[in-house]
Structure 1
Amino acid sequence: MKLKNKLKLSFCIMIIVPMILFVIAAFIIIKWQAYNYKQAYNIDTNVGLETFYSNGNAISEITSGIYQSMIEQAETNPESFSDESALRELSSELKTKLSDLVVRWNGVLLYNSTSFSNDELENLIPECSEVTYGSICDTGYYQSEYGCIVKTLGFCDEEGNVYNVSIVTSISQVVPQIRNSLTLMVLAIAIVLIITAALLIFWIYKSIVRPINKLKLATNNIKDGNFDFKMPKTGNDEIGQLCKDFEEMRLILKENTEAKLKSDIEEKDLIRNISHDLKTPLTAIKGYVEGLQDGIADTPEKQEKYIRTIANKVNDMDRLIDELSIYSRLDTNRVPYTFVKISAGDYFNDCVEEISVELDASQIELDYKSHLDKTVYVCVDPEQLKRVVNNIISNSEKYMVEGRQGKIGIDIYDEGEYVHVQFSDNGKGIASKDLERIFERFYRTDDSRNSKQGGSGIGLAIVKKIVEDHRGMIWADSVEGQGTTMHLKLPKYKKNELACQGCN
């Protein structure tokens, strides 16, 4: 649920749920109070809600049974209301209902169990004088100014004597029940509000505060450089989406941090390797220079040999520095490619001609076979692709086996949408554990820095980067001790498709 919907729902819950719970609580309280009221005053009829909002109804119900008996007695034996003993008995019964009896006979006060004076009774109880034998004047109940509920019967006997019999009940009798009910109502409102607030607070804490606390903990972990944790699953609301985004950010930061650590390690290895690779030719150059200065090379032949060796070492250093410069620019995408459409067969024919001269000087046999025709074109940067070919051939030449006739084969095939170039050699080969990592930057398969192969470990990394920038593929097959085959695939040029930027 979205956060805004949760807030809307919370607002509705704050209004509707307390109202529903209060109505239920009020119904239970009224029923319970009505039951207690009925039991306290021995009321036989049902007592409902009107008992508590209408004082007259409540007090009238208290003496309704006795009042009905008085009506029946007035109809059958009206003379009994002049018997003092009978009146005392009736008054005693009314006292159990917290009521009093007042009887007038022909306008004269015959019996009074109240605390009111005669004058007060004149105002409290109006007299019913216009009655006939066999008829009854029932005034019902009415509320007087003295805080009482009064019910009066007017009737006469056979001799024409007029009776006015009244039941007087104080209104204060129902006040304790009303006060108790109001107290319970207030208590019910407080409980309902507390329960509703507690449920809402728990819900909000669970859906909002708890995820925020988890986010806070996660930010503290990231601040301390700890990325090895996982954000717990949350809902689909805005905060839940924020947690998911935070988890994605954590993974990216973790990857970047690990990549940076790896890069730092590789750079340290590079500095160490380059320092070694530069120090080795520098040491040799220094030695040969000292030999020339000290006159050790005392013949023209020795001097020429020393100078040629110095030149070779300088070339090695220059090549190493050039590799570092090229890789740095490739790694930061600062090498400007110039793509052109060229014939794949003609291009590799030219490359092989240049390579064959160097391989002849190194006494390495070259076997070149092209299975392409001139209609096969590729979109490449000739200079950078030549660097790929030279690095692959140089790598093969570097790892030839001493005492074995070196052989390098180059085969080119037309394979559908690609031009497939294979570079094979009969060198040392690559161990299976190293084969998948040979294109990693700064990775070297030889552990000893004293081996004659040397190298910075970035030659094949340069190759891979250039090939990928050409939207091509490169991989290697090798058998340790027998040789290695490099596979290079370049996409063909398509007339109706822009194969590479700047290639028409």
Structure 2
Amino acid sequence: MKIKTKIILSNILMVGIPILTAGVIGLIGWHQIDSKYIYSLETMFKDENAVVSAQSSIYAYQEELWNTNWEQMEEEEIGHQDEEDESNIKWNELKNEKNELTQTSKMYNLGQEMENMGYHFSVFMNGDCQYSNLTGEDQTVMQKIAGDAITHVRSMVVGEDNASVIKSSFEKGDVICVIIAVNSGNEIQSENGISYLKQYIFKFVLLFLLIIIAVIFFTNMILSRFIAKLILPPMFMLQEGTRHITEGDLDTPIRYKNKDELGEVCENFEAMRAYLKQSALERLEYEAYRRELISGISHDLRTPLTSIKGYLEGLTMGIANNKEMQERYYHAMSIRTNDLERLVDNLSVYNKLENHTLQYDRQQFDLRAFLDSYRSDRSLEMEKNKINIRINARDGEYPVFLDRLQLNRVFDNFVSNTIKYRTQEKSLVFITVDHMEDKTICIYEDDAGGVPEEALPRLFDSFYRVDDARCKAGEGSGLGLAIVKEIITGQGGYIYAENGKTGLKIVMEIEKAEDEDESINCGR
């Protein structure tokens, strides 16, 4: 069953059930009271000789009696009399014609109603008879029942057997209107007078019930239509939105702006659609990332393995036929084995960083002092690889709260990249440390050449290489800068890259340490 049908049905039942209950109670009461009580009630209200009905009609037409121009009617009838005299028509025929009360439609209706109730009547204005259709029999019955009282009293109602006389007087200013109605026992030609209860009360109750039912029906239809217009459009929108999502369309929004409960439902649905769309995009990006990751791992594993396999085949087949060549082959195999070990180590570290399982041993220390120590500890290696590191920092301390071991790994990766991608025999590296509000800024800049601007945002992606920008691109695993980013951001910092004057510039924003004695061990 549709919602609109349910609304209509519920509105009908809301009113129909009380009405039906009242009807059942009424029928039970009718059965208990029995018809004899109804008969007594009808007898009580019975309108003998239609006296009450006739009086009601006279009072109902009272205003019309005042507004009737009786003088004009009489002039028209006298003129009509002169015309008829010329045709030798008798006066009594003219009188009979005068007795037709046809000046207005309402007066004609009064005459018809009185006649249907068996009454003839006369109208007097200040004692002058303006209209009369009383017969001789009516005059006799009136004299018999009312006698001389008919001329003395202002209003009266008398009856005897099936005959009755009604006199009503109305006064307006100086004019007195008197109506005398007589029923000399004529048969009632309509339901008027049969039962006042049936004629008025029962009909009124029935009409009242019919009106109530009609009002309920039309009100129900109007309100149901109004409520349906409020409820159904957003329901249809939600249905259409569900269909779009089922078909994989996550771009079609629901445009329902009303601030009501259904509006909140639509807003929640829109939030769900946006979330699903974002999740789908992230899933696609993640799948692309995983494919790139697997492809990168496969490539980086295959390169040293291919080299090792080639050297082993050379040794097996006797290509290296002297000691010097064999030592050169063994040395090359050792380098490739170290590359494999370094790649596996980087993969292990990166996996822990990405899955947030790497534990950081964070301690507070001075970054300037750390850099001096790092340069001193690796002086022999730097000299061997022909790298000169210069540290620029103003006097003072630069307290940070980081993991020393992982920070060493960060600068190792920086230096390794500088060696791999440099275009000259020697390398000059500048490390700048400075304060910025509540952060410590550390900038690593080498002279190995820059990268295209469009490649800068992806430098920290795993297995991403810029093949054309920095020479010898492709020799690394592509995980170095990805690991660097995870280490820095994992400890509350921020890192980005930009092109400097002579090479790539990597900027790290690190939060300052608040407590100089603070030293904790925490994980990501």
Q: Which residue of 1 aligns with 2:156?
A: 139
Report the equivalent of 2:432: 411
Secondary structure, counterpart of 1:278 in structure 2 = helix
For the 8 Å contact 2:53–2:192, the answer to whether it is kept is: no
Q: 1:145 to 1:348 in 2, by over 3 A?
A: farther
Change (3 A) 1:201 1:233: same
Aligned residue number for residue 469 of structure 1:
490
Q: Deviations over 1:55-88 (max 9, x none)?
A: 55542246759999xxx9xxxxxxxxxx998996
Relative to structure 2, which stretch is displaced further, 384-393 or 193-202? 193-202
**TM-score of the aligned structures, taking structure 2 as reference length:** 0.66
Are 1:379 and 2:394 an aligned pair? no
Question: Quick check: 262-271 or 184-193, which moved more?
Answer: 184-193
Could you tell me which residue of structure 1 aligns to residue 174 of structure 2? none
% identical aligned pairs: 26
In 2: Cα distance, 1:380 partner to 1:237 partner: 51
Q: Does 1:311 align with 2:334?
A: yes
Question: What's the CA shift string for 1:280-333, capped at 9, x where partnerless?
Answer: 111100011111222222222222221111111112122222222222221221
Deviation at 1:137, TM superposition (A): 6.3
1:492 and 2:490 matched? no
Q: CA deviation at 1:389?
A: 1.6
The question of whether the paired residues in 2 share the 8 Å contact of 1:407 and 1:425 is answered with: yes
1:261 matched to 2:284: yes
2:233 is aligned with 1:210: yes
Shift of 1:376: 3.5
Show CA shifts across 1:355-374 (max 9, x none): 4433333233333445454x
CA RMSD of aligned residues (A): 4.7
Match of 1:397 among 419, 428, 446: 419
Secondary structure of the corresponding residue to residue 152 of structure 2: coil
What pairs up with 1:172-321 in 2 under 5 angstroms? 172=191, 189=212, 192-321=215-344
Question: Where does residue 128 of structure 1 map in the other structure?
Answer: 146
Secondary structure (helix, strand or coil) at the match of 2:359 reads coil
- Taking the aligned partners of 1:499 and 1:57, their CA distance within structure 2 comes to 112
- 1:33-112 maps to which residues of 2 (within 5 A)? 55=53, 58-61=56-59, 93=101, 96-99=112-115, 100-101=118-119, 111-112=136-137
TM-score normalised per structure 1? 0.68
Deviates more, 1:54-63 or 1:214-223: 54-63
- Counterpart in the other structure of 2:177: none
| Distance (whole Å) between structure 2 residues aligned to residue 203 and residue 59 of structure 1 | 45
CA distance in 2, matches of 1:356, 1:256: 48
Structure 1 residues 267 and 84, CA gap change in structure 2 (3 angstroms): same
Q: Which residue, out of 399, 404, 420, partners 2:441? A: 420
Counterpart residue number, 1:166: 182
Deviations 1:333-359 (CA, angstroms, capped at 9, x unpaired):
111222112232332222223444333
1:91 and 1:101 in contact (8 A); partners too: no
Q: 1:127–1:419: structure 2 CA closer, same or farther, 3 Å change rule? A: same
> Displacement, 1:398?
1.9
CA–CA distance in 2 between the matches of 1:444 and 1:141?
A: 124
Provide the rounded CA distance (Å) in 1 between the counterparts of 2:249 and 2:465: 31
- Residues 181-190 or 309-318, more deviating: 181-190
Distance 1:176 1:286, change over 3 A: same
